[in-house]
Structure 1
Amino acid sequence: MAGAAPLERAGQPAGLVAAIAASWRDLRGGARRRLAQRPSEAGLLAHAYLAAGLAFVAGLPQAVADARALDQPDALAGVLAGRLFAALFLFPLLLYALAAAQRLVARGFGGRGSFYSARVTLFWTVIVALPLVLAEGLVSALVPALPPRGGALLGAAASALAGLGFVWIWATMTAEAEGFGRRGLVLAVFLIILVASLALLRVIPSIA
């Protein structure tokens, strides 16, 4: 049809929710479609802020729990201010740094992408993974109503599943952007980097 939207003429889903659903059905296809759209840097940043905002909302139950643990006046305002600062300023910077690291690691393994394609796939990964973030936030809201042991286990399981799901989506889309036939290698490398980073975060405080 002459009046169809450009995305519809290209066989790509119109609308953000439809695009996320299509990417869930076919992660590599979602990465291809997103790369073919060639989004601007402003569009990538807008998606970063969208993801940060929804993650901030999803993290409100945990923020309330953290404030109660501090047991100080105005603790909630301080916790929310810190989380808002991280969402608005630190989160986008972290994404750009991760995208650069993603490209450097992929290049070391013979990847054929670019720094731009790394940004596109990582930022789209964050958007596609939003249902996992929102589901984790919902679980966090239910945890206080559960017995302490069961609530802690449920919260840990939800966090682990969300983290692994994010890494799986990221590895799959990176494999497509870099021309890797197997995402298993990319997933293994990402998991090694993730485990090493978590171990480093635990070691640094003890050294200091």
Structure 2
Amino acid sequence: MPVTSDIVATYKGPRKAFARILGMGQREDRALMMLMAGCLIAFVARWPALARQAHMTGEDLNMMLGGTLMALLFVAPLALYAIAALSHVIAKVLRGQGDWYGARIALFWSLLASSPLLLLNGLIEGFIGPGPGLQLVGFAWLVVFLWFWMSGLVEAERAN
């Protein structure tokens, strides 16, 4: 099934879609590609806002893009691995039965699956700017991301 179909399925029923993704077996290359694709989309989502900021302030766009690239494609993946590990430890304390891989996939897939809203947020930030629309879409992205993450984590940590 293509990734886009999996994303649509996640919006329809996150636990069922996540169970199907977990059922494909443990492959760390798949987890890493989900993470890197999500981070790449987050980087692309920042472009309109950075272009707007560069235009408004006269800053160098290339420097801002370079810093954002470094943050989102090199630093963020390391931080997300740490957050996934922390979420698994917390789930273990709460009697979770899953493994480290499931916790990673839950977080990484949530980032990738919620990326359409992240792109919309970036467009609004770049073309409209700060305001209620940006806040509404940003809040919607956060809610959807947390919904997908918690649904995936519950599915990953439940008894097999």
For the criterion TM > 0.5, the same-fold answer is yes
1:180-199 residue CA offsets vs partner (Å, 9 max, x unmatched): 8xxxxxxxxxxxxxxxxxxx
Q: Does 1:80 align with 2:65?
A: yes
Counterpart of 1:112 in structure 2 is: 97
| One of 44, 51, 55 as aligned partner of 2:31 | 44
Paired residue total: 159
The letter for the 1-side match of 2:45 is A
What is the rounded CA distance, in whole Å, between the counterparts of 1:41 and 1:126 in structure 2? 16
Structure 2 residue 154 is matched with structure 1 residue 167:
no
2:26 and 2:93 map into 1 onto residues whose CA distance is 26
Q: Are 1:66 and 1:79, in contact at CA under 8 Å, matched by a contact in 2?
A: no
Match of 1:128 in 2: 113
Query: What does residue 74 of structure 2 align with?
Result: 89
The Cα of 1:63 is off from its aligned counterpart by 1.2
Secondary structure, aligned partner of 1:37 = coil
Partners in 2 of 1:23 and 1:16 — Cα distance?
A: 10
Shift of 1:138: 2.4
Q: Secondary structure at the match of 1:87?
A: helix
Pick the aligned partner of 2:3 from 7, 16, 28: 16
Partner of residue 57, structure 1: 44
Q: Which has the larger radius of gyration?
A: 1
Paired residue for 2:53?
Answer: 66
Q: 1:63 to 1:15 in 2, by over 3 A?
A: same
Contact persistence 2:49–2:123 (CA under 8 A)? no
CA distance in 2, matches of 1:81, 1:163: 25
**1:23-70 Cα distance to aligned partner (Å, 9 max, x none):** 221110111111111241122111211111111111111112333454
Within 2, Cα distance between the matches of 1:101 and 1:66? Answer: 35
Amino acid at match of 1:137: G
- Specify the SS of the correspondent of 2:128: helix
| 8 Å CA contact 1:35, 1:121 repeated in 2 | no
Q: Which runs of 4+ in 1 moved over 3 A?
A: 68-72
CA deviation after TM superposition for structure 1 residue 133, in Å = 1.0
What do residues 96-141 of structure 1 show as CA deviations (whole Å, max 9, x unaligned)? Answer: 1111011011111111111111012111111211111122122223
Q: CA RMSD in A?
A: 1.7
Kindly indicate whether structure 1 or structure 2 has the higher relative contact order, using CA contacts under 8 Å at least 6 residues apart. 2
Residue type of the partner of 1:84?
L
Give unmatched runs, 5+ long, in structure 2. Answer: none
Residues 165-192 of structure 1 show CA distances to partners (whole Å, capped at 9, x for unaligned) of 1111111111111128xxxxxxxxxxxx
TM-score of the superposition, structure 1-length normalised? 0.71
Give the residue type in structure 2 aligned to 1:55. Answer: A
Instruction: Give the distance between the partners of 2:26 and 2:122, measured in 1 at CA.
Output: 29
Q: Name the residue aligned to 2:83.
A: 98
